[in-house]
Amino acid sequence: ASLKGFRLLVVEPIDHEHNKAGDAFVAIDVVNASDGETIYWVGSREAPNALPDKYGPVDAAVVGIVDQVDA
């Protein structure tokens, strides 16, 4: 499987109040998220499912962009 054409993003986990909630990690971006956007990501066995061929050497994938967070 090729990752050619996909961007890699540095993801910084946050909690529901936008406070840092863990260490940063790298994820493949399949939704073309912009810098600073709040995103939804999947990890582990679900991450390769975000790729077109459902197979690839990825541990984390950005699969959605959050439009709004209601507190």
C-alpha to C-alpha distance for 9 and 66, rounded to whole angstroms: 16
Task: Tell me the fold of 7-65.
Answer: OB fold (Dihydrolipoamide Acetyltransferase, E2P) (2.40.50)
The pLDDT of residue 70 is 79
Residue ranges per structural domain of the chain: 7-65
Residue 1 has a pLDDT of 64
Mean pLDDT of successive 10-residue stretches along the chain, which has 71 residues = 89 92 97 95 95 92 93 66
Q: How high is the pLDDT of residue 69? A: 80
The pTM of this model reads 0.87
Tell me how crowded residue 22 is: count the other CB atoms within 10 A of its CB: 10
